[in-house]
Structure 1
Amino acid sequence: MDESAPLLKIENLNVRFSHRGKSVHALRGIDISFYKDEIHGLVGESGSGKTVTATSIMGLLPRPSAEIISGSVFYKGKNLLLMPEDELRTYRGRAISMVFQEPAKYLNPAFKIGGQIEEMVMLHMGLSKVAAKARARELLKLVGLGRDGRVLDAYPHELSSGMKQRAMIAIAISCNPDFLIADEPTTALDVTLQKQILKLIRTLKNIENMGVLFISHDLGVIREIADRISVIYAGKIVESAGKESLFNKPMHPYTRLLMLSIPDARHRGRKLATIPGQVLDATSTPEGCLFAPRCPLAEQRCFSLTPELVEHEKGHLAACHFAGKSWNL
């Protein structure tokens, strides 16, 4: 595989949900490239399509309510969306793995943590029971849970929230995946635990030599961990750039408004910015820019002419009629 080529690439992905006779547009033509040895942050408000992007990659969209209208998800040149379920299952967990937002929902309460890791590596890596147990001990130690072996024989309900999240990460990396998806893994944790999990994911990325998609609604968290950031709004990527480029020169008003809403100790007493209006109704398909009804810069053309996601500076893409021009909010 060409080292300069994306490890995983999403092209023109459109996903629709049907519910009680209504169609809900979850993704409206997503294009993102992910590279090995890079943490790619995906940020946006709740309901913007972050988790749907992740579950589309994993082949875990709920059927039959979810339907992929168009698009491709290429992993090392193979389109995952065209694979039959039995073939996709060999990739899921082994090549591409996922850490979910609420580990308590995904850790089996009837099995010990060690047993859940052992099952994973025996299934995907063909290890013996003895080798699988040794691998489980190694992984729990790697994520900071294996010093005395107690977690190996613990049930999920015996662990704290932070320990559950670490255990979920251990399971996710158990088969040395090339690509790890972390879907809001710090949302339910306090600030101290949040920092520990962020540090752990970056450390594991370096040790395991994998690409990471880190999903969050918090741009402050994304700034702390990501190398590259894509901003999603109403099912579309509106901006994508390296972290320094994005924060030094945001090219989309939505990105800028998200930045202004981050608490900053340097500006104590300053009122945080808010984004006016409501997130676009997912059942609608308006013309023009989807953010136009909430945008303080919007002109008449914004409501009729759809801006394309194009590169305005090296590595910096934006879908805005004002991108690359001088403006302030």
Structure 2
Amino acid sequence: MRFLYFLCLLSLPTAVVTDSHSLWFLVTYIEGETPFPAFSVVYMLDDITVGYYNSEAKICVPRGNTTNEDEEVDLISYYLNEYYPPIVERFIGLFKNKTKGPVVHQLLTVCELPDKDDVGQMITKIAFEGSTTDEMHFIDDTLTFQGMEKVTKLHLEMFRWFHAMAYKRGKLILEKYLKKRATQRKRRVKPRVRLIQKASDSGGVRVSCLATGFYPRHINLTLLRDGQPVSDHELTGGDLLPNGDGTYQMRKSQEIRAEERQKHKYSCSAKHLSLDNKLIVTLDFDHSEPYKSVIPSVLAVLALMLVFGAAAAVWKRRHTASEENVENKNTPK
């Protein structure tokens, strides 16, 4: 199966300290006989689904809206009806595969709005069976192409025109949605941050910084050792994952030797739009303390077992002796 990915992001969010926003279009084109529409689109403001489109209805259907969005629906419907089907088919024609049966094609483009004096850009990625094979960058009205397939100058000019047109229209649509979906996009949920340590299969210790239940999705999560950030090449994880309630979670972990855990102080910091200040959680205790605290408890339990055991033995002897005395008295002489 072959995949082409399309995504349109405006003002691509890269830092938690900036309240940036994006407009996403995920376009799917299916070749072959299936019960699904041949062409469909899901489009989102940040991570809020704002509408759906397919080639059978030929009109956008708003999702989760409480305001009148007829103008936005008309703009996107016209855009998708007039421009997307021929462009997607051209892409598919250039990167045709030999797979038999139904084939799913998707297109992914990233559009970034300029910040102050910066120049805006759009990036399109093409993938085959989940792996990126081709990539296009559109910046300052210039398109560059890198990929496994050879394309003609005519095709490059067509791609440049498409990116210029999509960038202009996407910016207009995003500005309209930012006003009408203001309540949804301003939602804030604070993260719950924990610092966890547990024994690893290799005999060492895994220290993990976990943040969960936060919204929006942009967060700066850092694992610190003696107050200094642990370098990325020492860490595992770091992927942003969705929760079932619409919030997000992220985990960053480092595996260390047990003796190293006793030498360093670990902590976890989180920066998020819902927090007034940086949140810091510390894992700071003597690694041998748990064993020290367990010893008195174990001794106490053993002492109680000995006391109850001795009491039970005494009771049993007395009970046996009492029964023997009763038997002796009742036995005829």
User: Shorter-chain TM-score: which interval?
Assistant: under 0.3
Q: Which has the higher strand share?
A: 2
TM-score (norm 1): 0.26
TM-score (norm 2): 0.26
Q: For CA contacts below 8 A with separation 6 or more, give which structure has more relative contact order.
A: 1
Larger Rg: 2
